[in-house]
Structure 1
Amino acid sequence: MLIKREGSLSRVPVAFGPVVEAARERIAGMFGGGRLHSAYLYGSIPRGTAVPGVSDLDLLLALRAEPTEADRADARALGAGLDADFAQVDGAGVVLSSTETLLSELERYDLGWFVACLCTPLLGEDLGQKLPSYEPTSLLARETNGDLGQKLPPWRERVAAATTDVERRALCRFVSRKVVRTGFTLVMPRWGGWTSDLAESAQVFGRYYPERAEQMREAARVARTPSADRAALGVLHMLLDDLGPWLAAEYTAVHGTKAVRPVSP
């Protein structure tokens, strides 16, 4: 079964139309002068499932050259500005990469797949047209989420260092989403398909690992409605100290570990 591109500008909910149009205009203004190759939406907004005041805005910018510190500063300003100006979104994130990286052989089954299947073109030439078709294979599972074990220690450090509810809430959202998606891709080849829906992802995972199903449902709940209250933080620590380590070990046993990437300078 081929994985089809999941989003479309035609699916953007009416409430988020002004946000998407502002993003298009601001990206063109801030990353003009030949820096930008193309821009993409991903996440719940182009899937048509975004909830005003709850969902975040996710953007990927493909630059013609490797991102610089100036590019990253502009990306942070872009995201902060959109988040501040539109109550419809609860946070705005801007991911930067170069076209060379996105089309590289190393990233073929990670960032390349991400562009081709999970990203909706917003500006410029669609890089997805230069990438192959994808199926829910063990190779795809390995290269997308076969790095959970490496991520757990720095996540624990970030949680320990967090001093505000805003930071803790963001970590709850980020970590729980990653764990749920890792749980889903662990079983994706056996299930034979793709979903980005967090509740469905947890449900599918639970069919194959019923003894861990309730933990994954809790992770999906926190991922959809992140909070900094005691209950949510309890789930976060469960993910970092129990479900996460188990999932990382099981993932390695089933699919192996993600290919090593070069260390950024």
Structure 2
Amino acid sequence: MWFPMSERAAPRGLDPLGFIEREGSYARVPPVFRPVVAAARDRLLDAFGARLDSAYLYGSIPRGTARVGRSDLDLVAVLGEEPTGADRDTAGALGEAVDKEFPEIDGVGTLLYSRARVLSELERYDIGWFVACLCTPLLGEDLAEFLPRYRPDSLLARETNGDLARYLPRWRERIAAADGTEEALRPLVRFMSRNLVRTGFTLVMPRWNGWTSDLREMAEAFAGYYPERAGLMRRAAGYGYEPVGDRAVLRSYVDDLGPWLAGEYARVHGVRTPRPEGWD
């Protein structure tokens, strides 16, 4: 159940000064996943060598909440220069190999950025915040040392998730292109569910005044301010953990919940600062 801040003991996920605490650590990685993490770390070094500036874990594994055989391995690789298409192919092949070798995980995703982009003024409250607060150092220099502390305010909300409207047409294309099999649709349901729940949470984050990465807690925080949409968001949180291969769920996201959320987000926080052509 959601409670107003006055009824909660302390803001969740904040330090005594009100800054978002970094979540996750290598010490929290469950023993069953440590061989997976070690293999991924070594293969990142083999794949990118001296071009690799730093690497990170994020998601449920460094938070200690991963489920064997159900959770994916989430990685960030920061290169000394802008990643190329070949680099992304390399990261994709690396992920497929690790996923195939280790049944403990259900997929591997690797985000690629350049050091300059992570530390850029334009990405300070998006990629920079993500690395500083949601990523656990795995290799190299920790770029959080060069970034500010962050509060759960409207600026952070706008720059992290204030671009949902731009992505909805791409989601529609992915839904239309996917075949109707469970195998094809389940990853899309998981991805879009998680994205919508996180966007719904950051919509209310400044009022809730805290941080969490737990999808169900995110949905409950949202429900406290938008009870008329609470059921939809709770359902999306459930599908974020236990996705179904249902095209109707995906259509509801791009035809109903997604457009409403994008419009409300723009009304409350504004839209994300535009990036140069080809930046994303």
Q: What's the TM-score bracket when you normalise by the shorter of the two chains? A: over 0.9
Task: Give a deviation string over 1:177-216, Cα, whole Å, max 9, x none.
Answer: 1000000000000000110000000000000000000000
Question: Is the counterpart of residue 71 in structure 1 residue 87 in structure 2?
Answer: yes
Q: In the alignment, which residue of structure 2 is the partner of 1:137? A: 153
Q: Secondary structure at the match of 1:25?
A: helix
Question: Is the counterpart of residue 243 in structure 1 residue 262 in structure 2?
Answer: no
* Equivalent residue letter for 2:100: A
- Deviation for aligned residue 1:264: 2.0
CA distance in 1, matches of 2:100, 2:276: 35
- The answer (yes or no) to whether the contact 1:136–1:193 under 8 Å persists in 2 is yes
CA distance in 2, matches of 1:190, 1:24: 38
Q: In the alignment, which residue of structure 2 is the partner of 1:172? A: 189
CA distance in 2, matches of 1:256, 1:161: 31
Question: Is the counterpart of residue 96 in structure 1 residue 101 in structure 2?
Answer: no
Runs of 4+ in 1 over 4 A off after TM superposition: none
CA distance in 1, matches of 2:87, 2:38: 21
Task: Give a deviation string over 1:32-89, Cα, whole Å, max 9, x none.
Answer: 0x21000000000000000011100000000000001221111011111111111011
Unaligned runs of 5+ in 2: 1-17
Q: In the alignment, which residue of structure 2 is the partner of 1:49? A: 65
Match for residue 54 of structure 2 among 20, 35, 38 = 38
TM-score by length of 2: 0.91
What is the correspondence of 1:1-265 to structure 2 with a 5 Å cutoff? 1-32=18-49, 34-163=50-179, 164-228=181-245, 230=246, 233-264=247-278
CA distance in 2, matches of 1:85, 1:59: 17
CA distance in 1, matches of 2:43, 2:235: 37
Unaligned runs of 5+ in 1: none
CA distance in 1, matches of 2:203, 2:237: 15
* Equivalent residue letter for 1:48: G
Q: Secondary structure at the match of 1:120?
A: strand
TM-score by length of 1: 0.96
How many residues end up aligned between the 2 structures? 261
CA distance in 2, matches of 1:245, 1:30: 40
CA distance in 2, matches of 1:192, 1:78: 38
CA distance in 2, matches of 1:18, 1:86: 9
Query: Percent identity over the alignment?
Result: 62
CA distance in 1, matches of 2:97, 2:277: 30
